[in-house]
Homo-oligomer: A and B are copies of this chain.
Amino acid sequence: MKDINGGISAVAGVNARGIKQGKNGLAVIRAEGSAAGVFTRNKVIAPSLIITQQHLKGGKLAAVIANSGCANSFTGTPGLEDAKEMARLTAEKFGVEVNSVGVASTGVIGKRLDMDLIRSQFNEMRESNEDHEGSTAAAKAIMTTDTFPKEAAVELSNGTRIGGIAKGSGMIAPDMCTMLVFLYTDAKLDAGILKDCLQKAVNKSFNMVVVDGDNSTNDTVLITATGRSGPVDLDEFKQGLEHVCITLARLIAKDGEGATHLIEARVNGALNDHDAALAARTIVRSPLVKSAVFGKDPNWGRVVAAVGYSGAQVDQQRIGLAFADKSSKVKLVENGQIMETSDADLREIMGSEEIFIIVDLNLGSGSATAWGCDLTYDYVRINAEYTT
């Protein structure tokens, strides 16, 4: 498996395009094949998701249309009609069935879509082809407060490719929020297997990202397998898919609203994986940990407190804790005992762009990794201003 360029355009049979005008963007991706999706667990869900879930029942998609700027959420029956209209436009253009089109939206909740704008953007959109430009244009089109487009792709040993684009910056919590992710592979896999692989990869990646702990009404991760490259070793495919998802998840955490640091929390030695995930996510969700990281303050007591209230089994006599960056590591606590540390080393780590918080609970073999970002003045500014 090796990382490659090209995002979703690297995958055979994928044709992506996108347009962005101010806050409003539209992406259209044509790719036919078996398909599966994972969606928000929020009980308030947007009409686009209802439509997409219906269309996925056949296990196939021929195209995806996604807009940014308006979530088309909490918009009732008229919102449902608007989402259908988006599917219809796409189906007509490509001469495919309406119920083979996936629809996704992201932006402000509680406002109707501007369908005139969507129709005009749809018509204005430049025809794309299978080169990298199409992937990037689509990745840009779905951005809201994101500061950069998010793309990833890998090539497996037999030449099979997996690519993805993602958006997500605020309202990011475990259970994927507001996150739109469109994944493609040229592997030949049926919808059931695809769904299983997707859910497993999402659990290890997008479900382990926290920007603010808020959970959106529109989260959507879709995968389509075009089958152009034929059969694939399933284990290698799973690894490749997880790798693409984790790459995109880290990009989302790094681009968290206002973020200046990526925080990676690695929890080992938990009673089980579930406990490890609870602890890891609680660390990257804690506003106190996040503020301390922003202030480059190695206030590790807040990490211990977060682990303590995470719900995971904890024995404070056994906890181990270290802070690290890509080049060095400082042990702060071992078996519940506070260690002597070098302030200079700690200061250097806290100044790094990517900070690793490494916890060992010393109770079992459960492990998990979660990603988040620091809490900054800019997060507050961005979210105090959003709808004005």
| Contacts from A to B (Cβ < 8 Å) | 40-45, 71, 73-76, 108-111, 170-171, 173, 175, 177, 212-217, 285-288, 291-292, 294-295, 297, 299-302, 304-309, 312-314, 316-317, 319, 333, 336-338, 375-377, 379-388
In the assembled complex, which residues on chain B have CB atoms less than 8 Å from the CB atom of A313? 43
Q: Which of B108, B214, B291 contacts A383 (CB 8 A)?
A: B291
The reply to whether B385 and A316 contact each other, CB–CB distance below 8 Å, is no
A380 touches B380 (CB 8 A): yes
Chain B residues positioned under 8 Å from A308 (CB to CB)? 42-45, 215, 217
- CA distance in complex: A109, B43 (Å): 38
CB neighbours (8 Å) of A380 from chain B are 291, 294, 375-377, 379-380
Give, as a whole number of angstroms, the nearest-CB distance from A316 to chain B: 5
**Complex Cα distance A73/B212, Å?**
27
**Are B73 and A301 within 8 A (Cβ)?**
yes
A322 to chain B, nearest CB (A): 14
When the two chains form their complex, are residues A74 and B316 in contact, meaning their CB atoms are under 8 A apart?
A: yes
Is the pair B291, A384 in contact by a Cβ cutoff of 8 Å?
yes
Docked Cα-Cα span, A307 to B284, in Å, equals 22
Which chain B residues border A377 with CB–CB below 8 Å? 377, 380-381
Known contacts being A74-B316, A214-B286, is A384 close to B305, with CB within 8 Å?
no
List 26 A-B pairs, Cβ < 8 Å.
Answer: A44-B304, A73-B301, A73-B305, A74-B336, A108-B299, A110-B300, A110-B304, A111-B301, A171-B305, A213-B285, A214-B287, A214-B288, A215-B305, A215-B308, A215-B309, A216-B305, A287-B383, A291-B382, A295-B384, A295-B385, A297-B385, A297-B387, A375-B383, A377-B380, A377-B381, A380-B380
Task: Give min CB distance, A197 to chain B, whole Å.
Answer: 26
One of B76, B301, B305, B338 near A336 (C-beta < 8 A): B76
Nearest-neighbour CB distance to chain B for A26, whole angstroms, equals 21
Cα A71 to Cα B305 with chains together (Å): 12
Nearest CB of chain B from residue A323's CB, rounded to whole Å: 13
Shortest distance between the CB of A295 and any CB in chain B (Å): 3
A374 CB, min distance to chain B CBs, angstroms: 9
List of B residues within 8 angstroms of A292 by Cβ: 383-384, 386-387
Chain B's nearest CB lies how many Å from the CB of A267? 14
B residues less than 8 Å from A214 (CB atoms): 286-288, 302, 305-306, 309
Docked-complex contact B309 and A42, CB < 8 angstroms:
yes
Instruction: State the CA gap A204–B55 with chains docked (Å).
Output: 45
Q: Is the CB of B213 within 8 A of A295?
A: no
Decide: A307 and B213 in contact? CB cutoff 8 A: no
Task: With A43-B316, A297-B388 given, name 13 new contacts (CB 8 A).
Answer: A73-B301, A74-B338, A76-B317, A76-B337, A108-B299, A109-B304, A110-B300, A110-B304, A217-B304, A291-B380, A292-B386, A294-B380, A294-B384
Partner of A41, one of B43, B44, B309: B309
Partner of A297, one of B110, B170, B384: B384
Can you list the 5 inter-chain pairs with the closest CB atoms, starting with the nearest? A295-B384, A109-B301, A44-B308, A291-B383, A215-B309
A170-B288, A291-B379 given; A305·B385 CB < 8 A: no
| Across-interface contacts of A309 in B (CB, < 8 A) | 40-43, 173, 175, 177, 214-215
Q: Considering the chains assembled together, what is the distance between the CA atoms of A213 and B319 in angstroms?
A: 22
B379 touches A295 (CB 8 A): no
- Picked from B287, B302, B319, the residue with its CB within 8 Å of the CB of A109 is B302
The complex places the Cα of A294 from the Cα of B380 at a distance, in Å, of: 8
Bound-state Cα–Cα, A337 to B79, Å: 12
| Contact, CB under 8 Å: B215 / A383 | no
- A23 shortest CB reach to chain B, Å: 15
